[in-house]
Amino acid sequence: MSKSTNMSKAKRRAQLLEIMKDLHQQAQRQADFTAEKVAQAAGISTVWFYKLVRPEFQALRAQLSGPRLLRDEELAQLRHENAELKKRAQNLESKLRTTSVDELDEAIRELERYEKENLQLRQQIALLQKRLEEGGHVIIQPSSYGSTRSHLTVVSTADPLEKQESR
């Protein structure tokens, strides 16, 4: 573990001890001073709470009146909470994977649509270039309302009147 990680853990532990001491002073019996309440006030899980300050918590709680939980009962509660947290984490991971897959599918559909559109545009360009080489003119027609593209039309160089005269 790096020195910065140890410092942050030590700092969190010190903050947790302060919160715990404040709540202990307000508590009159053990039911008022539980690991869940202290962890919730600190904004951490009960499992993390016990990892950081279990001995200090047990010493302070023992000073208050009320029933004493056996170590096995506390461990059972922690195991239950840990199992719930793992299940919740798995559900969140599953949702994240599903969301990621859905977003990837949508992105692939968009890419395929753009690729098809790009191919069509390339074909139109090739056709227009061919017609220009044959002597036509290209007219750019304004796009319809809401469209972002103009439409290209190839017009023959021969005037329609010239065609009638040549007949």
Pairing between strand 151-155 and 137-141? Answer: antiparallel
What pLDDT, on a 0 to 100 scale, did the predictor assign at position 137?
Answer: 64
Q: 66 has which bridge partners?
A: none
Least reliable range by pLDDT among 37-46, 62-71, 118-127? 62-71
What's the mean pLDDT when you consider all of the chain? 79
Residue 136 reports pLDDT greater than 80:
no
What pLDDT, on a 0 to 100 scale, did the predictor assign at position 5?
Answer: 52
Residue 127 reports pLDDT greater than 60:
yes
What pLDDT, on a 0 to 100 scale, did the predictor assign at position 150?
Answer: 58
Regarding predicted confidence, which is higher, 75 or 7?
75
Alpha-carbon span 40 to 112, nearest angstrom = 49
Q: What pLDDT band is residue 6 in, cutting at 50, 70 and 90?
A: low
Q: Averaging pLDDT over each range in 41-50, 124-133, 134-143, which range is the top one?
A: 41-50
Non-local CB neighbours of 44 within 8 Å, separated by 6+ positions: 16, 52
Instruction: Write down the pTM of the prediction.
Output: 0.39
- The domains of the chain are located at 3-68
The predicted model gives 39-64 an average pLDDT of 88
Indicate the SS3 state at residue 52: helix
Structure tokens at 88: 């919740």
The predicted model gives 49-78 an average pLDDT of 81
Residue 12 reports pLDDT greater than 50:
yes
Structure confidence by residue, pLDDT tens digits, 73-118: 777 888 888 999 999 999 999 888 888 888 888 999 999 999 999 9
Residue 130 reports pLDDT greater than 60:
yes
